[in-house]
């Protein structure tokens, strides 16, 4: 018969052979002189340690059962310490808690808190939270005091299931049992539970009452404030944080980026670099997103350099590489985005989709469609974002039939269910070429309820093709879905104004006043040669170079008029005299930004202007003319796409 140590090391002997093996505890009586109680205790502890090590090495349920057989043979069937580990291993291998684990548990006469906790944890991990609550109640009736881990596992489960009612009851239990309200680990999981369930104030109260806090306590609350949009509270906590680590710095960077505050995100990242805090992929994704929002080329180059130095360059990390492709695209550097894409050793559906979307919004739509076919040849399956990109490409060049074919093939050939976003692309595709009735029919036959984006695409097409009737229908649906979104009212005003329907314009403006809606100011920004950002608001002349900008703009207008430029007065939605309309058009923010760019940059410098709203018809014509008479390349990013103006023409081909 093999020795215990040999059999124990291999864990390969069937369980039934153990039943034939006479346990050592029964032969102990034959030893002379007999072992002392302390020697027996030492031997038992050694055996328990070996059993724990053996359980750690188990790779299947069969192995766990073999160790259980050793345990039974050695008379350790009441050893809660080893049995707790045994049940945890059975949980790991997904053995139903109602079967083998419960049988083991019921054979123990006096289960200790660790064994109770192993059972409670197992039921929670297997999704039967109600059963774990019943076990907790049995444990309390049995007079067993719960562990801190008992509460933390419940709070984690409540976070995952958003069960705030159970969470508050367990919070009460930590107070009733006593001693756990001040436990650091319990407090941290409690904060996480409350914030995940949307009770941020309760989470803050737990935080404030904790006698001891660690960086996790602070960071969980910083992240929660960031997700709620309260970056001021997040910043205040971050400032008070005694010791800041990589996670807390990253929470601030990503928080600012996710709340559309890219400048603050970049400022925090700069400080992070000054403090020589390690940069990881999560931090880089946050700061890359901030650069993409800001559209700042100099920042983009700096962030890429940081990524390269940190070992996360595009040729090393596909996630960062895909994000860099998106960043360069949104910064107006589509050629640089394509270079990054080509440098990537590994490309996945996300990198291809980012590149396809980038090409589409820059007006290089045939290249986007070709890249889509290259992706298919590489045997990479497209996802829903890929189709948004390729349908957008078709929309921006008026390829209606090709777009319809791709839309039809989504489900049948690529197993991608069309979403509301894809239907929005189809409405936009038909609307851009003036097929408004067909676009409306697509909306009526959608298998899902059309959202504001779908109706917004139709309303935008009505503006381009001056169809006030369908515009009214689209606007009425938008007013129901988004009653306080002022952009819908303004767009309808534009359509009525273009048709000379001033009474209807007055009615819409009256409705806006009754609702207390105020127009968001149009503004543009441009990056200086040293990376500084200059903002311009419509009609705002607070820039230090305002006098020079105004003069340069007037000179440019006079030159454009000599080449046939006539202001598009229908871009003004107010019933004003023509001269007043001309004055308003001249002070649009993108024109002010253009004048500054012409004054402050060299003749070979590409002027890149970012705008928060859609570029108007007059500014579009103005940029076309300016690119021709100045010989400068001008790029404008509005809230829809990029416009590359060169020698009097635009990359959008007037499909904007």
**Structure confidence by residue, pLDDT tens digits, 612-652:** 988 988 999 999 999 999 999 999 999 889 999 999 999 98
User: What pLDDT digit, counting tens, does each position of 395-412 carry?
Assistant: 988 899 999 999 999 999
Question: Distance (Å, rounded) from C-alpha 496 to C-alpha 618?
Answer: 17
**HEC profile of 38-80:** HHHHHHHHHHHHHHHHHHHCCCCHHHHHHHHHHHHHCCCCCCH
Show the DSSP H helices in 482-570 as ranges: 486-498, 502-515, 546-562
* Range with top average pLDDT, 43-47, 81-85, 175-179: 81-85
Q: What is the pLDDT of residue 35?
A: 59
Confidence of residue 6 (pLDDT cuts 50, 70, 90): very low
Q: What is the mean pLDDT of residues 135-150?
A: 92
Residue 350 scores a pLDDT above 80? yes
Residue range 586-600: average pLDDT?
Answer: 95
Tell me: the pLDDT tens digits for 236-258? Answer: 999 999 999 999 999 999 999 99
Per-residue model confidence (pLDDT) at position 13: 39
pLDDT in the model for residue 656: 62
Q: Per-residue pLDDT for 23 more than 50? A: no
Give me the residue label for tokens 């700096």: 302
Lowest-pLDDT choice from 115-124, 259-268, 492-501, 644-653: 492-501
Q: What percent of the chain has pLDDT over 70?
A: 93
Arithmetic mean of pLDDT, 381-386: 96
Task: Please tell me the predicted confidence (pLDDT) of residue 596.
Answer: 95
pLDDT greater at residue 374 or residue 297: 374
pLDDT of residue 168: 95
- pLDDT score, position 498: 79
Note the pLDDT tens digit of each residue in 187-207.
999 999 999 999 999 999 999
What stretches of 200-348 show up as alpha helix (H) in DSSP?
Answer: 200-209, 215-228, 231-240, 246-258, 262-274, 281-294, 297-309, 318-330, 334-343
Residue 48 vs residue 559, higher pLDDT: 559
What pLDDT is stored for residue 2 in this prediction?
38
Which of the four pLDDT bands, split at 50, 70 and 90, describes residue 34? low
Mean confidence (pLDDT) of the chain: 89
pLDDT grade for 7, boundaries at 50, 70 and 90? very low
Hey, what domains does the chain have and what are their CATH numbers? 244-346 (1.25.40), 419-520 (1.25.40.10), 523-650 (no CATH)
The CB density around residue 183, as the number of other CB atoms within 10 Å, is: 20
Mean pLDDT of 228-240: 96
Mean pLDDT of 438-460: 94
Better pLDDT: 38 or 118: 118
pLDDT tens string 463-488: 888 899 999 999 999 999 999 888 88
pTM: 0.82
Position 33 scores a pLDDT of 57
How far is Cα 306 from Cα 308, in angstroms, rounded to an integer? 5
Tens digits of residue pLDDT in 81-140: 899 999 999 999 999 999 999 999 999 999 999 999 999 999 999 999 999 999 999 999
The overall longest dimension of the chain from CA atoms, in Å, is: 119
Of the two residues 40 and 283, the one the predictor is more confident about is 283
Which of 12-16, 25-29, 207-211 is predicted with the least confidence, judged by mean pLDDT? 12-16
What does the angle CA 88 – CA 98 – CA 53 come to, to the nearest 5 degrees?
20
Can you give the C-alpha Rg of the chain in angstroms? 34
Contacts of 43 (CB under 8 A, 6+ apart): 35
Percentage of the chain with pLDDT > 90? 71
Given its phi and psi angles, is residue 581 left (phi above 0), alpha (psi -120 to 50 degrees) or beta? alpha
Q: What is the mean pLDDT of residues 133-155?
A: 93
Mean pLDDT of 182-190: 93
DSSP for residue 298: H
């Amino acid at each position: 018969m093999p020795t215990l140590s040999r059999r124990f090391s291999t864990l390969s002997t069937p369980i039934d052979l153990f039943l034939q093996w006479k346990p050592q505890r029964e032969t102990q009586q034959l030893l002379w002189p007999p072992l002392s109680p302390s020697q027996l205790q030492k031997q038992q502890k050694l055996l328990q340690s070996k059993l724990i090590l053996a359980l750690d090495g188990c790779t299947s349920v069969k192995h766990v059962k073999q160790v259980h057989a050793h345990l039974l043979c050695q008379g350790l069937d009441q050893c809660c310490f080893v049995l707790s580990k045994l049940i945890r291993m059975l949980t790991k291998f997904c053995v139903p808690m109602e079967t083998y684990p419960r049988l083991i548990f019921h054979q123990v006469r006096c289960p200790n808190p660790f064994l109770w906790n192993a059972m409670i944890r197992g039921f929670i991990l297997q999704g039967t939270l109600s059963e774990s609550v019943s076990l907790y109640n049995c444990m309390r009736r049995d007079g067993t005091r719960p562990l801190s881990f008992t509460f933390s596992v419940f709070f984690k489960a409540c976070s995952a299931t958003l069960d705030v009612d159970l969470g508050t009851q367990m919070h009460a239990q930590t107070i009733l049992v006593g001693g756990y309200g001040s436990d650091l680990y319990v407090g941290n999981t409690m904060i996480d539970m409350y914030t995940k369930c949307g009770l941020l104030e309760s989470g803050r109260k737990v935080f404030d009452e904790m006698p001891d806090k660690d960086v996790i306590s602070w960071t969980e609350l910083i992240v929660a404030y960031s997700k709620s949009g309260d970056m001021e509270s997040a910043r205040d906590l971050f400032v008070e944080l005694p010791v800041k680590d990589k996670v807390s710095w990253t929470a601030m960077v990503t928080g600012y980026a996710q709340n559309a505050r890219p400048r603050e995100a970049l400022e925090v990242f700069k400080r992070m670099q000054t403090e020589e805090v390690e940069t990881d992929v999560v931090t880089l994704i946050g700061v890359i997103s901030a650069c993409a929002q800001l559209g700042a080329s100099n920042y983009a180059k700096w962030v890429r350099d940081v990524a390269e130095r940190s070992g996360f360059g595009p040729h090393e990390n596909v996630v960062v590489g895909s994000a860099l492709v998106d960043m360069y695209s949104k910064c107006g550097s589509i050629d640089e985005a394509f270079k990054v894409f080509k440098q990537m050793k590994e490309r996945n559906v996300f990198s291809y989709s980012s590149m396809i979307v980038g090409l589409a919004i820059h007006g290089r739509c045939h290249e986007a469609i070709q890249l889509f076919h290259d992706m298919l040849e590489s045997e990479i399956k497209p996802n829903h974002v890929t189709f948004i990109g390729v349908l957008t490409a078709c929309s921006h060049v008026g390829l209606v039939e090709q777009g319809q074919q791709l839309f039809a093939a989504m489900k049948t050939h690529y197993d991608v269910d069309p979403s509301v976003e894809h239907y929005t692309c189809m409405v936009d595709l038909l609307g851009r070429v003036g097929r408004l009735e067909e676009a409306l029919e697509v909306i009526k036959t959608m298998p899902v309820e059309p959202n504001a984006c779908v109706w917004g695409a139709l309303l935008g097409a009505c503006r381009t093709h001056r169809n006030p009737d369908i515009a009214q229908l689209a606007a009425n649906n938008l007013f129901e879905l988004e009653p306080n979104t002022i952009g819908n009212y303004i767009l309808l005003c534009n359509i009525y104004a273009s048709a000379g329907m001033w009474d209807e314009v007055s009615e819409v403006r009256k409705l806006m006043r009754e609702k207390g809606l105020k127009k968001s100011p149009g503004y543009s920004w441009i990056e200086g040669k040293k990376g500084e950002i200059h903002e311009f608001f419509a009609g705002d002349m607070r820039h230090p170079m305002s006098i020079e900008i105004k003069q340069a703009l007037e000179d440019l207008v006079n030159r454009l008029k000599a080449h046939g430029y006539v202001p598009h007065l229908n871009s003004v939605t107010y019933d004003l005299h023509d001269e007043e309309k001309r004055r308003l058009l001249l002070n649009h923010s993108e024109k002010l930004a253009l004048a500054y760019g012409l004054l402050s940059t060299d003749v070979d410098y590409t002027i890149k202007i970012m705008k928060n709203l859609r570029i108007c018809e007059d500014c579009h014509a103005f940029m076309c003319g300016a690119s021709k008479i100045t010989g400068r390349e001008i790029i404008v990013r509005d809230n829809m796409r990029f416009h590359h103006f060169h020698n009097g023409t635009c990359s959008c081909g007037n499909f904007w």
